[in-house]
Amino acid sequence: MRFVLCLLLLALPPGSAFAAKGTMTLSQAQAAANKGDAEAAAAIATTTDRQTCFNECTNRGHDKAQCTNACRPGICHPGGEPPYCVAK
C-alpha cells in the first residue's frame, strides 16, 4: 500500500494543484500563476508587508512564533484563508 502511495505522489507533476496548497516562494507563486494557478494568482493579488501580516496573524489568535514563520518576507500561502504573499 505504501509503495503504491509513493508511486502516486511521484507521478504528480510539481506544478499540480496539490503542490500549490502549501507554502511557496514569491517567485514560485508567480510561475504557478503564469501557468494558470488561480490560488497562486489570488495570493499574489493580496501581497502584504511583513508587519501587516504579523498583526493580522496575531489578531486571529495565532502565537507569535507561528506568525513570525508565516510572515517571512518573500513567502506565499496560496492555500491560506485568505491566500496571501508577504513582500520581500
Domain that holds residue 43: 19-86
Name the residue with cell 508577504: 86
Write down the number of H helices and E strands in the chain. Answer: 6, 4
Residue type, 46: T
Confidence of residue 23 (pLDDT cuts 50, 70, 90): very high
- Quote the pTM value: 0.69
Domains in the chain, number: 1
Question: Tens of pLDDT along 31-53?
Answer: 999 999 999 999 999 999 999 99
Q: Which residue has the higher pLDDT, 81 or 72?
A: 72
Over 70: is that where the pLDDT of 14 sits?
Answer: no
Q: Is residue 5 part of a domain?
A: no
Residue type, 76: C
Q: Is residue 47 part of a domain?
A: yes
Q: Is residue 61 part of a domain?
A: yes
